[in-house]
Structure 1
Amino acid sequence: MPYKFKSRATADLIMLEANGRQVLEIIGKSPDDEHGIITAEQIPAAIAALEAAAAEDAARRSAKPEDEEQPQEDEGAAANKDSVGLSRRVAPFVEMLRRSAAEGKEVVW
């Protein structure tokens, strides 16, 4: 089931289940809850948590030594090599949080 995040300050944001669960776990919310809220007061901490997780993911991706990556011919390896980093996945959500914070609005799902 995809997650649909809503705010009165922005358009709705839809995320696939795996990505939505990951985002909620990073900001300390329970992904098992069908509905939830990120209050305007909680938004700065949520943004900081997402940015820290994205920076950690980027550092981990850049720290992989070249010799660990073995050339493989299957499709899965090519898809994994070109996978989208966390910073790109959370960018629309962080933007939603920033706009919501600027207007003092909460984000719900």
Structure 2
Amino acid sequence: MLYKFKSKNTGDVIMLQPNGRRVLQIIGKDVPEDIETTGEKGIILPEQMPAAIAALEAAIAREEADQKAALAEALAHNEPAPHFESVSLRQRAQPFIEMLKRCQEDGSDVVWGV
């Protein structure tokens, strides 16, 4: 299953279900467990976008700080470097953050599932 985020003034942003669900949870949207049967739909209004952008940027900063700390701890104990996902939250969320910023500027909504 895919999440397809759409707006009037930007190109679509498409994410696989686990990534889309994670992004939506970070910005505080309720996400049903089984999207295939619920046919989830949603909207992010322009007035919600600053908080959504801030939440995503904070989550990215936390992930990067946690990874840096884990790497430093492994090096301090002469252990092999920990393995992290090959695509970071920053890489996954950046197109969505850009979409939110552009939509906030022009006052358009972001929708999914419609």
Q: Same fold, TM exceeding 0.5?
A: yes
1:41 match: 47
Distance across 1 between alignment mates of 2:100 and 2:20? 14
Deviations 1:13-34 (A, max 9, x none): 1000000000000000012261
Report matched runs for 1:1-109 at 5 Å: 1-32=1-32, 34-64=40-70, 65-66=73-74, 67=77, 70=80, 80-81=83-84, 83-109=86-112
Stretch of structure 1 that moved more, 30-39 or 93-102: 30-39
Structure 2 spans left out of the alignment, 5+ residues: 33-37
What's the CA shift for 1:81? 4.0
Distance across 2 between alignment mates of 1:27 and 1:97? 11
Deviations 1:34-82 (A, max 9, x none): 10000000000000000000000000011112248547xxxxx8xx446
CA RMSD of aligned residues (A): 1.9
Residues 20 and 57 (structure 1 numbering): CA distance in 2 closer, same or farther, change over 3 Å?
same
- Detail structure 1 runs of 4+ shifted over 3 Å in the superposition: 67-71
TM-score (norm. length: structure 2): 0.81
SS of 1:41 mapped into structure 2: helix
